[in-house]
Structure formats: structure tokens, C-alpha cells
């Protein structure tokens, strides 16, 4: 136990020394105007405007992630059907799929699945 404590303290000490040395040796210029400006083929940018982020794309990506995670939950449910009691497995599966369908219906009613907006 004592050796482990000594090794851990040496590891923390060496790591701290290395981090301090790297910060001293590195030559960073945080306020360099050329490094913080966007690159346009070697020329200064014409304007500082950026294209606005499409919230519709974000909503579609969020919906995809939600349903992707839910598919990951459904696959083990199918694989555990032969190891569990049929009534409890059926009630769990139906309730989970009903929650999914209610969420999909809610998104459909609110127009989140309308791709033409």
C-alpha cells in the first residue's frame, strides 16, 4: 500500500513538472489576428458574417440520435425473449414501443418531420 502511494505521488509530481515545462517552452500567441481569422485562400476575409446555422438540420439530427439510441435499446430486448417470462417481456416491450410511437406522433403533429420548411 505504501509503495502504491509513493508511485502515485511520483506520477502526479512528474506529470505536473511536464505540464509546467510544456507551458514554458511553447510559444503561443493567442491574440495573433491571422490565426483567429477564417482562412479564404490566403486573402483577408471579405466580411465577418457567418452563415446562420439551420435549426431544422439540428432538429433532424436530434431526432435521428434519439431514435438511433432507442434502436440500440430494442435490439437486446429481442435477444432476451427466450430468457425472460413472456408476460413481463411483452408488457415491457409494448410499453417501450408505445412511448416511442407517442414521441413520433408528437414530433409529427408539431411539424418537426416536415422536410420542406
* Entry field: residues in the chain: 117
Question: Which three cell numbers mark 33?
Answer: 489576428
Q: Which residue bears the cell 485562400?
A: 41
Q: What's the confidence (pLDDT) of residue 12? A: 94
Q: From CA 20, how far away is CA 28, in angstroms rounded?
A: 14
Integer Cα distance of 19 and 67 in angstroms:
42
pLDDT for 9 equals 93
Could you tell me the pLDDT band of residue 67, with boundaries at 50, 70 and 90?
confident
pTM summary value: 0.46
- In the block, cell 437486446 appears at 76
Dump pLDDT digits (tens) for 71-112. 888 888 888 888 889 898 899 889 988 988 898 888 888 877
Domain assignments of the chain as residue spans, ordered by start: 2-27, 55-109
What is the average pLDDT score of the chain?
A: 80
Amino acid at each position: 500500500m505504501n509503495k502504491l502511494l509513493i508511485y502515485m505521488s511520483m506520477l502526479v509530481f512528474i506529470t505536473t513538472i511536464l505540464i509546467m515545462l510544456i507551458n514554458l517552452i511553447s510559444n503561443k500567441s493567442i491574440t495573433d489576428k491571422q490565426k483567429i481569422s477564417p482562412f479564404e485562400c490566403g486573402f483577408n476575409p471579405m466580411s465577418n458574417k457567418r452563415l446562420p446555422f439551420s435549426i431544422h438540420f439540428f432538429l433532424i439530427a436530434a431526432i435521428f440520435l434519439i431514435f438511433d439510441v432507442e434502436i440500440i435499446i430494442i435490439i437486446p430486448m429481442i435477444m432476451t425473449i427466450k430468457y425472460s417470462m413472456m408476460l413481463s417481456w411483452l408488457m415491457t416491450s409494448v410499453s417501450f414501443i408505445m412511448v416511442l410511437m407517442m414521441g413520433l406522433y408528437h414530433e409529427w403533429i408539431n411539424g418537426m418531420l416536415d422536410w420542406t420548411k
